[in-house]
Amino acid sequence: MISNEEILEKVDEAIDSAPERGFQENVDMAINLKNIDLSDPNNRVDLEIVLPNGLGKDVKVCVMGNSAQMLNVENADKKITPEELEKLGEDKSEARSLAKEIDFFLAEADLMPKIGKILGPILGPRGKMPDPIRPGDEVEPKIDRLKNTVKLRSGESSTFHTMVGKVDLGEEKIAENINTMLKRLERALPQARQNIDSIHIKTTMGPSVELI
């Protein structure tokens, strides 16, 4: 696999070749797979990767439940009670807005069947079904970890994309994030590096730079 030094060179190239913009751009990565049957769900990429440097942006986490374990957490961006969950079932527009706003969900394990019924059709296809929280679980550390986490999902497509960091995170930290993601991706693929056709990186509005 490509070294961290080589990744850093490519990140520098992608950022340096991008024209100046009046907003803070993302650095995104496009992954192309080969020799893998993604019609088989067992072969699809569906990873949550904890990044060493985060994304440099606010990752939002919502908790669902009515226990003190959930309601007393201080680092959640949103809290939803069972009563509020019922209301979301009656307002699909609000439910879709929630799915768009929130990156990760945590929910009391006992509430998961109801969430599946009410929000499953909206959260499921987006890969955002909640992680279950059981009595005794420490919730705040889970939230802290999720705020440095990125999802890598292929679905049935051999080409898929992910953000690897905001430009102002800095080239070295972005390169470290990419290195972490590629190592995890290789471990998840049946034939490791042999299943990767190509990988490109680019800023939001900049030209694509071949990484692999």
The 10s digit of each residue's pLDDT in 14-50 is: 999 998 888 889 999 999 999 999 999 999 999 999 9
User: Are 200 and 187 in contact, with CB atoms under 8 Å apart?
Assistant: no
Q: Is residue 69 part of a domain?
A: yes
Instruction: Centre a 10 Å sphere on the Cβ of residue 40 and count the other Cβ atoms it contains.
Output: 9
Q: Tally the domains of the chain.
A: 2
**Could you tell me if 142 and 160 lie in one domain?**
no
How far does the chain reach from its first CA to its final CA, in angstroms? 9
What kind and span of H or E run contains 4? helix 4-16
pLDDT at 157 (0 to 100)? 95
Average pLDDT over residues 172-178: 98
pLDDT for res 22: 82
Query: What number is the average pLDDT over the span 178-191?
Result: 97
End position of a domain, from candidates 127, 146, 165: 146
pLDDT at 139: 98
Q: Are residues 104 and 176 in the same domain?
A: no
- The tokens describing 129, both together, are 């079904």
Residues in the chain: 212
Q: Hey, is 62 helix, strand or coil?
A: strand
66, 26: one domain? no
Q: Report angle CA 172, 174, 175 to the nearest 5 degrees.
A: 65
With contact defined as beta carbons under 8 Å apart, do 189 and 45 qualify?
A: yes
Q: Are residues 133 and 192 in the same domain?
A: no
In a shared domain, residues 95 and 129: yes
Last residue of a domain, one of 146, 166, 194: 146
**pLDDT score of 21:** 82
Sign of CA dihedral 32, 45, 95, 148: negative
pLDDT at 98 over 80: yes
Rounded distance between C-alpha atoms, residue 181 and residue 199, angstroms: 12
**Residue entry with tokens 């590096």:** 193
In a domain, 55, yes or no: no
Q: Cβ(209)–Cβ(202) under 8 Å?
A: yes
Strands 196-203 and 26-33: what pairing? antiparallel
Tell me: the pLDDT tens digits for 113-133?
Answer: 999 999 999 999 999 999 999
| 107: pLDDT strictly greater than 90 | yes
pLDDT tens-place string over residues 129-168:
999 999 999 999 999 999 999 999 999 999 999 999 999 9
Q: Are 178 and 186 in contact (CB under 8 A)?
A: no
Q: How confident is the model at residue 1 (pLDDT cuts 50, 70, 90)?
A: confident
Q: Which domain holds residue 187?
A: 4-45+154-210
Q: Rounded to an integer, what distance in angstroms lies between the CA atom of residue 198 and that of residue 18?
A: 21
Minimum mean pLDDT among 1-5, 99-103, 148-152: which range?
A: 1-5
